[in-house]
């Protein structure tokens, strides 16, 4: 009997040992030296780098992504192609070419959506070649602000609208290192298929609006769980405007570009073609014009305006026009009546085809001033005959101007004479409009250089009112192609990104990798904001434009140690990058960009009642972004609960048998001693 019990105990112990041995063996290859608890945590819980989809709100509800509750989400990882019938929520690994179909199914199949714990998206430059197009935006972006009635027109043929829907689960775009981390942990699954384990993703992407139950902009602003989308636009004049003298003010030729874009993922929004190519073309034109002699003798005033918040209800242009109505300090020196014509530079990064850079001029209306701008574009084209540049008028069958800042100008004043220059005619040629795939590889730098060249000469023709193509001054205007190419890598790549010498010559950037998402507006809006609340790109643009459009009195420079100059017409540039900045004479200002339906008072934001006289305010969604603490994703391996239960039962069995064995052995030994 004793031998039988001992054999039984040995078998039970062996079963328990074998059940836990595979797990030990799976870790043995990885553990080389663990010297602390953090070392063990790093080994067990792998932090995954990437870019989150966040929760955005408007007056009517929510869009974007978030953990469904106040706790972390932990769910097993499975590739979308392996999904069959899910019993419990899973983390779905989706590739970029599967995104559109996946999120469309989520929106239409509630049963499927209920089994989604979270989503990891695998993307990269290789998907741009595989995809014919991917745009998470709408067919007619921001159609509610259109100055014409045909809002069903399909400007964006690659549209899927998936970024405008509400997803009650976290979504995370993996970086290259994140893709490697996830693939590494999944590759080990084949080697340990018998260990009763699962590879899981843990999402810590809890939004404050979810915690507080504030599910629209009005509610979250009242509770302080969100902030308005916005930032700071920048404008500058060439030459500087004498604000103190209102006599003999020149007509203004206003040139406009945008600096913000959007995508499904908050911090992966480059917007290379739409709109950064237009911004870089504008800066290239400013750089070229700053080297022209006698610029102060031009008959008209050149003003450059770079807007932010345009993706979210044309916040920048609407606020700029509102500040003009208020005659505020942010636009001192300008007025509505002084603006004679507007030239907007839109998407110009994909104009190159067949060795020719072709751009299309979309006009707001037929007028003598608009015709003057079109003529100037034609003259500029002819003066650049050797550059193979072609300017064509947009198709008259188009319903009107494409989605652009000019829509805000037209809604404000239908008599606005303006032209927007684009690389497309009837619909977007950018098949990755408002997508994370609209990066530097999606555009051609020569196209941007060509657009900058045309714009620079067009502006000189308009401001000088000289249509003579043989004009020596016109022929001397040349865009620096190397400057344009450097600027593209600064604003559209993470290497070198904002750490490039060009940017660091003006500011000390807080981030290396540029993010062209508008972001939120912090603190009280001001024309002289606290610079810690102003984004890197806005601060760079302010310093760059102030430098290029400046004049120095008496060819002397003065130092500004604390960012302040003694004279009212001077501004301090390069104060961030150097211990001492330089004072120059320049008319360059920040303009807060936020909804005209919002008011900041006593440290809080409130929504103003609708005003029937503000047609754009009547349809303004009033976008806000939920506050959040941390946005992190980890991947790691866990044992199945059934396996844990089996180990527990085995342990209890061993303990019970051991106890019985001890009692039996004690009885046998006692009897043996009595017999002796």
Distance CA 570, CA 327 (A): 20
State whether 266 and 139 are in the same domain: no
Tokens representing residue 128 in the block: 């741009």
Average pLDDT over residues 122-145: 90
State whether 239 and 205 are in the same domain: no
Tally the domains of the chain: 2
Tokens representing residue 665 in the block: 């052995």
State whether 135 and 268 are in the same domain: no
Residue 402 in domain:
yes
Peptide bond into 239 cis (omega under 30): yes
Q: What is the pLDDT of residue 28?
A: 45
Q: What is the pLDDT of residue 5?
A: 46
Write the CA distances from 606 to 357, 522, 601, integer angstroms. 47, 14, 8
State whether 207 and 292 are in the same domain: no
- Which among 271, 252, 255 is positioned nearest to 263, based on CA atoms? 271
Please name the residues in contact with 322: beta carbons below 8 A apart, sequence gap of 6 or more: 596
Q: What is the pLDDT of residue 57?
A: 98
Q: What is the pLDDT of residue 317?
A: 98
State whether 363 and 474 are in the same domain: yes
Q: Please, which pLDDT band fits residue 15 given cuts at 50, 70 and 90?
A: very low
Q: Is a pLDDT exceeding 50 seen at residue 2?
A: no
**Ranges 9-18, 126-135, 297-306: which has the least confidence:** 9-18
What's the half-sphere exposure (Cβ side, CA atoms, 13 Å) at 658? 9
Cα end-to-end distance, the chain, whole Å: 19
Size (the chain), residues:
676
State whether 371 and 470 are in the same domain: yes
Tokens representing residue 554 in the block: 């008496």
Average pLDDT over residues 391-400: 96
Q: Is a pLDDT exceeding 60 seen at residue 31?
A: no
- Asked if 534 and 528 touch (Cβ cutoff 8 Å), the reply is no
**Ranges 112-121, 385-394, 408-417, 467-476: which has the least confidence:** 467-476
Phi, psi of 479 (to 5 degrees): -85, 135
Residue 12 in domain:
no
Q: What is the pLDDT of residue 194?
A: 53
**Ranges 157-161, 295-299, 391-395: which has the least confidence:** 295-299
Q: Is a pLDDT exceeding 80 seen at residue 462?
A: yes
Q: Is a pLDDT exceeding 60 seen at residue 411?
A: yes
More confident residue, 108 or 1: 108
pLDDT digits 0-9 by tens, 49-66: 999 999 999 999 999 999
Average pLDDT over residues 297-308: 96
Domain that holds residue 185: 37-216+630-639
Residue 104 in domain:
yes
Q: Is a pLDDT exceeding 50 seen at residue 90?
A: yes
Please state the separation of Cα 523 from the chain's center in Å. Answer: 21
Residue 137 in domain:
yes
Neighbours of 658 (CB within 10 A): 14
Strands 301-307 and 231-238: what pairing?
antiparallel
Q: Is a pLDDT exceeding 90 seen at residue 640?
A: no
Residue 4 in domain:
no
State whether 198 and 241 are in the same domain: no
Task: Give the chain's count of helices (H) and strands (E).
Answer: 19, 27
Please state the separation of Cα 592 from the chain's center in Å. Answer: 19
Q: Please, which pLDDT band fits residue 567 given cuts at 50, 70 and 90?
A: confident
Distance CA 301, CA 530 (A): 29
Q: What is the DSSP string of 386-448?
A: GG-EEEEEPPTTSSSSPSSTHHHHHHH-TT--EEEEES-SSS-S-TTTTSTT-SGGGS-HHHH
Percent of the chain residues topping a pLDDT of 70: 89
State whether 311 and 449 are in the same domain: yes
pLDDT digits 0-9 by tens, 218-276: 999 999 999 999 999 999 999 999 877 665 689 999 999 999 999 999 999 999 999 99
State whether 379 and 472 are in the same domain: yes
Q: What is the pLDDT of residue 17?
A: 46
**Ranges 73-87, 448-462, 638-652: which has the least confidence:** 638-652
pLDDT digits 0-9 by tens, 511-555: 999 989 999 999 999 999 999 999 999 999 999 999 999 986 555
**Ranges 138-142, 513-517, 624-628: which has the least confidence:** 513-517
State whether 212 and 264 are in the same domain: no
State whether 250 and 149 are in the same domain: no
> Which residues are paired to 207 by β-bridges?
628
Beta strand spans in 229-331 (E): 231-238, 252-258, 301-307
> Which residues are paired to 639 by β-bridges?
197
Q: Is a pLDDT exceeding 90 seen at residue 578?
A: no
**Ranges 189-198, 287-296, 410-419, 547-556: which has the least confidence:** 189-198
Q: What is the pLDDT of residue 667?
A: 82
Q: Is a pLDDT exceeding 80 seen at residue 566?
A: yes
Phi, psi of 122 (to 5 degrees): -100, 120
What's the half-sphere exposure (Cβ side, CA atoms, 13 Å) at 590? 24
Residue 68 in domain:
yes
State whether 245 and 212 are in the same domain: no
- Residue 583: Cβ-neighbour burial (10 angstroms; 0-12, 13-18, 19+): buried
Residue 172 in domain:
yes
**Ranges 102-116, 187-201, 661-675: which has the least confidence:** 187-201
Report the mean per-residue pLDDT for the chain. 89
CATH classification of the domain holding 314: 3.40.630
Q: What is the pLDDT of residue 455?
A: 98
Q: What is the pLDDT of residue 501?
A: 96
Residue 572 in domain:
no
Q: Is a pLDDT exceeding 80 seen at residue 39?
A: no
Helix segments in 569-623, DSSP class H:
615-618
């Amino acid at each position: 009997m004793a031998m039988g019990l001992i054999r039984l105990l040995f078998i039970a112990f062996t079963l328990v040992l074998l059940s836990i041995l595979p797990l030990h063996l799976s870790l043995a290859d990885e553990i080389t030296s663990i010297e602390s608890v953090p070392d063990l945590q790093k080994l067990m819980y792998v932090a995954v780098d990437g870019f989150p989809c966040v929760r955005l709100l408007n007056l009517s509800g929510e869009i974007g992504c978030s953990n469904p509750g106040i706790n972390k989400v932990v769910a097993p990882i499975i590739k979308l192609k392996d999904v069959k019938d899910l019993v419990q929520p899973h983390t779905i690994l989706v590739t970029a070419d599967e995104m559109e179909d996946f999120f469309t199914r989520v929106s239409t199949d509630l049963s499927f959506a209920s089994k989604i714990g979270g989503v990891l998206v695998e993307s990269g430059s290789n998907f741009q070649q595989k995809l014919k197009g991917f745009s998470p935006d709408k067919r007619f972006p921001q159609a509610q602000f259109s100055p014409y009635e045909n809002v069903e027109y399909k400007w964006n043929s690659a549209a899927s609208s998936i970024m405008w829907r509400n997803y009650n689960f976290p979504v995370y775009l993996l970086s290259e290192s994140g893709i490697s981390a996830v693939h590494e942990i999944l590759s080990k699954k084949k080697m340990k298929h018998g260990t009763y384990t699962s590879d899981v993703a843990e999402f810590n992407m809890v939004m404050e609006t979810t915690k507080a139950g504030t599910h629209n902009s009005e509610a979250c602003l009242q509770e302080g769980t969100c902030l308005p989308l916005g930032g700071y636009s920048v404008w500058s004049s060439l030459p500087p405007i004498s604000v103190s003298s209102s006599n003999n003010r020149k007509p203004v030729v206003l040139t406009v570009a945008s600096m913000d874009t959007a995508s499904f993922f908050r911090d992966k929004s480059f917007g290379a073609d739409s709109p950064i190519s237009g911004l870089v073309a504008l800066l290239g034109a400013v750089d070229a014009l700053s080297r022209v002699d006698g610029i102060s003798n031009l008959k008209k005033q050149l003003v450059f305006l770079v807007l932010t918040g345009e993706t979210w209800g044309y916040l920048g242009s609407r606020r700029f026009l509102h500040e003009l109505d208020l005659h505020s300090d942010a636009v001192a020196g300008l007025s509505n009546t002084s603006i004679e014509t507007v030239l907007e530079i839109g998407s110009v990064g994909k104009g190159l085809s067949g060795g020719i850079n072709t751009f299309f001029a979309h006009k707001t209306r037929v007028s003598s001033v608009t015709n003057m701008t079109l003529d100037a574009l034609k003259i500029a084209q002819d003066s650049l005959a050797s550059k193979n540049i072609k300017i064509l008028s947009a198709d008259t069958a188009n319903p009107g101007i494409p989605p652009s800042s000019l829509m805000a100008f037209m809604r404000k004043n239908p008599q606005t004479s303006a032209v927007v220059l684009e690389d497309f005619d009837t619909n977007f040629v950018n098949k990755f409009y408002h997508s994370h795939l609209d990066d530097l590889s999606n555009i051609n730098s020569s196209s941007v250089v060509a657009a900058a060249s045309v714009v620079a000469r067009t502006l000189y023709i308009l401001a000088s009112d000289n249509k003579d193509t043989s004009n020596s001054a016109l022929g001397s205007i040349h865009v620096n192609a190397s400057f344009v190419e450097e600027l593209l890598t600064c604003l559209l790549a993470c290497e070198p990104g904002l750490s490039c010498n060009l940017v660091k010559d003006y500011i000390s950037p807080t981030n290396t990798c540029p993010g062209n998402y508008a972001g939120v507006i912090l603190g009280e809006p001001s024309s002289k904001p606290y610079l810690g609340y102003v984004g890197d790109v806005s601060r760079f643009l302010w310093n760059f434009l102030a430098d290029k459009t400046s004049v120095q009195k008496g060819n002397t420079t003065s130092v500004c140690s604390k960012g302040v100059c003694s004279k009212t017409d001077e501004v301090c540039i390069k104060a961030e990058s150097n211990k001492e900045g330089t004072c120059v004479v320049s008319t360059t200002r920040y303009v807060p960009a936020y909804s005209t339906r919002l008011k900041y008072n006593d440290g809080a934001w409130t929504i103003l009642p609708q005003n029937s006289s503000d047609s754009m305010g009547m349809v303004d969604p009033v976008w806000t972004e939920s506050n959040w603490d941390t946005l992190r994703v980890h991947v790691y391996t866990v044992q199945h609960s059934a396996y844990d239960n089996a180990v527990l039962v085995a342990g209890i069995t061993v303990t019970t048998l051991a106890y019985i064995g001890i009692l039996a052995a004690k009885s046998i030994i006692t009897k043996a001693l009595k017999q002796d």
